[in-house]
Amino acid sequence: MKLPFKSVALIGKYKAPDIAEPLLCLAEFLSAQNLHVVVDSLTATYLGQHPYTVLPLDQVGKVVDVAIVLGGDGTLLNIARSLSSDKVPLIGVNQGRLGFLTDLTLENIQVSLLAMLNGDFIPEHRMLLTTRVMRDDVEVFHSLAFNEVVVHRGNISSVIEFEVRIDGEHLYHQRADGLIVSTPTGSTAYALSAGGAILHPSLDVIQLVPICPHTLSSRSLVVSGHAVLEILMKTPRNVRVRFDSHTHFDLLFNDKIIITRHPQSACILHPQDHSYYHTLREKMLWNQSL
């Protein structure tokens, strides 16, 4: 992480024209702090005429010190995957619904950002998962995931079958609607809805959560973040693997999905008063009296 920050990327939620006004206001504020402002090319399509540098997203991470993302958690997840290889820290501004990751708001953004750009922040490193799909010992697809990798049935009504191995050892043969392989970040997303545990983001672990398993004794399992997970498909067709609801790949019988921790983590910057437990209380409505 390069300090002090000298250049900053502004990235807005995709296909959200209403992002233009707050983003231009933020760009003007950042320029007034003598920061070089870069806008990714997709975001720039909503801004009209402006004086800021425009670059494709795959080039943004090579020229900026920090990226500010306006949108919801989904937007931040997508940008984190894209910029992780360049080790660009992210600041999230919430314009979505939940905001587990994007904890700044437009109401407090200038005061909070000024402090953070001067180095007054809490850095938090979040795990990413890398996945390879092997077919006849040949890699046919690969992707990153921030929240989860999900194997699930496609347009069939019956359960799917698969085998799970951890570090080469057989764990179980499962019949279920699917399987969620979740990072600690993803533990408050789909995995939570399927009955998984809430995991603190600092934990170096991976969680496996069966979706509607045929065997009622099947429960979520937490393993080391350094484990190698293998999922071997036993259903011939209509099965899909999905990554953060962002990308997907259709699977065939005997396809092998290999999931490991990605070498790079995503770095999210929070204001000094950030508290993960406060976020849980607010977002899970635990602060409401009975």
* Catalytically active residues, by annotation: 73
Backbone φ/ψ region at 136: left (φ over 0), alpha (ψ -120 to 50), beta: left
Segments in the chain forming alpha helices (H): 20-32, 41-44, 57-60, 73-83, 109-117, 190-193, 276-283
CA separation (Å) from 164 to 181, 193, 212?
11, 21, 16
Closest CA to 266 of 101, 81, 142: 81
**Alpha helix locations (H) across 9-107?**
20-32, 41-44, 57-60, 73-83
Q: What are phi and psi of 237, to 5 degrees?
A: -165, 175
- Under DSSP, the state recorded for 165 is E
Please answer whether residues 14 and 61 qualify as being in contact, where contact means their C-beta atoms are separated by less than 8 angstroms: no
**Three-state SS for 287?**
coil
Residue 157 has φ and ψ, to the nearest 5°, of -95, -15
Distance (Å, whole) CA 205 – CA 91: 24
Tokens representing residue 251 in the block: 């699977």
